[in-house]
Amino acid sequence: MKQTALEIVKKLQVAGHEAYWVGGCVRDMILHHEPEDYDIATSAHPEQVQAIFPKAKAVGAAFGVMLVRLADQDFEIATFRTESDYLDGRRPSKVEYSTAEQDALRRDFTINAIFYDPVTEEFIDFVDGRSDLRRGLLRFIGDPDERIQEDFLRILRAVRFKHRFDLEFYADTRAALERHSSLVAEITVERILQELNKIIVHNSNGSAFQELFELGILSRIFPVVDDLCKTPQPKKHHLEGDVLTHSCLVLDHIQDGQDLALYWAAWFHDFGKAATAQRQGDRIRFPRHAQVGAELFRTDIAKRLKFPKRLTEDITWLIDRHHWFDTFDQTKLVTKLRYYDHPQFGNLLQLHQADIYGCIPSVPESRQKPLDRLKLIEEDYHYAHQQRLLPSYKQEFFTGEEIMQITGLKPGKRIGELKQQLHDLQVLGEIETKEAARQWLSQFVV
């Protein structure tokens, strides 16, 4: 990809145009990170880009952005531009082609506005972005109030960049974020969720969410956090403090590279505690908080923020069952095997482990017992998969219709129950052949 991006710049320059890499790829290069993609900015207008790359497609005609596909990879080529008259906190109503310097000045943060010429291997930095990176600072370009008013999503992006790249806010940048935190409510939920998804999958997620709360942003998205930060937990198991602090710590203990459902379940797993907290003297209890939290997520948060259906189902399943392992050893074998067969069970194990580490008990050694129990369950889970003991590996002997033909029973709940019982016996190895299954069903013939 890097070599192809270099060739694009060369072709633009040979044709007499200015052309540079810009944005995230340059920032990542300076930080010694591998860029995910390469964006190119140029003085060439779209029709001039089209002349050099005949197969280029306009993907942002109003903004002078062309998409070039080379070597099975896509590259965005954008004409230098200025933007003005933002009316909706997202899009400019006026766009004009401009110079590289003017293009840099219309961007969000100094660290994202550095140009790099890969041909001459020179940086073109109109906003001191490299200096800010060296000092570990995140700073809006120009007036921070104006930058935020141009695109409200920059409030969330600021927190993401700060924590992803281990930076500190420039003083006026942080002050502007606090002043304009209420503008988060004006961002479309689709854009909010997209940005939060980027924040939550990074290993800085816990600290990022904590800062979103401190800036007054998080409660605009999840109002219940104002209650969670006031909800104490029993000190015997939670010296870390309130539920919100615990939730951030649990996020911190989810490993990198996991399913999105797991990260969100870690964040939401105790959201039901605020509504279920009960005090009995010095004792604090949260009866059915897992179920209450799952319902809160499914019926309110997921709908409001438009979580995809499949992701909603997975997160709900994990929240609802995150306390299962407290009594899991009492579960029947066939039920355990069905749980092991669930596609989210592996995530449930990781969620429970993170939940344990996200607690700071008064006696640190008290963690070991639940961790040992969890390890045994995990070993059993992997063994069941390796030995193909799970229900999904056992094709059912008969369909519901065939069971009705064998028994003479009419359609109804009873057919489903028999089908389930028969499959359970098959999974346990108590019925191994179709003939044995038919004989077992014969006792129910009417």
Give the number of other Cβ atoms within 10 Å of residue 346's Cβ.
17
Query: Read out DSSP for 360-418?
Result: --SSGGGGHHHHHHHHHHHHHHHHHHHTT-SGGGS--S--HHHHHHHH-PPSSHHHHHH
Whole-number pLDDT of residue 440: 83
Q: Are 273 and 243 in contact (CB under 8 A)?
A: yes
- Look at residue 31 and tell me whether its pLDDT is greater than 80: yes
Q: How far is CA 241 from CA 181, 227, 369, in A?
A: 25, 13, 22
Q: Which pair of structure tokens corresponds to residue 1?
A: 């990809």
* Tokens found for residue 226: 């104002």
Cα–Cα distance measured from residue 378 to residue 362, given in angstroms and rounded to the nearest whole number: 26
pLDDT given for residue 90 in this prediction: 58
**Residues 176-195, buried b or exposed e (16+ Cβ, 10 A)?**
bbeebbebbeebeeeebbeb
The two domains 141-221 and 231-393 share their CATH topology (first three levels equal): no
Task: Indicate the pairing of strand 122-124 with strand 137-138.
Answer: unpaired
Which of 11-15, 33-37, 247-251, 440-444 comes out lowest in average pLDDT? Answer: 440-444
CATH class of domain segment(s) 1-135: alpha beta
* Average pLDDT along the chain: 88
- Name the CATH topology of 231-393: Hypothetical protein af1432 (1.10.3210)
- Return the bridge partners of 90, or none: none
**3-class secondary-structure state, position 331:** coil
pLDDT in tens, 183-236: 999 999 999 999 999 999 998 999 999 999 999 999 999 999 999 988 887 777
Question: What pLDDT is stored for residue 85 in this prediction?
Answer: 54
pLDDT at residue 437 is higher than 90: no
CA dihedral 181, 184, 185, 186 (to 10 degrees): 120
Q: What is the pLDDT of residue 59?
A: 76
Strands 283-285 and 278-280, how do they pair? antiparallel
What the block records as the tokens of 90 is 């997202």
Q: What is the pLDDT of residues 349-383, one digit of tens each?
A: 999 999 999 887 777 777 888 899 999 999 999 99
Could you name the CATH architecture of 141-221? Orthogonal Bundle (1.10)
Residues near 87 by Cβ (< 8 Å), separated by ≥ 6?
93
Map out the domains of the chain as residue ranges. Answer: 1-135, 141-221, 231-393, 395-444
Closest to 302 in 3D by CA, of 276, 331, 264: 264
SS (H, E, C) 107-155: CCEHHHCCEEECCCCEEECCCCHHHHHHHCEECECCCHHHHHHHCCCHH
> What pLDDT score was predicted for residue 321?
92
Question: Which has more pLDDT, 334 or 64?
Answer: 334
Name the residue among 348, 344, 341, 346 with its Cα closest to residue 424.
Answer: 341
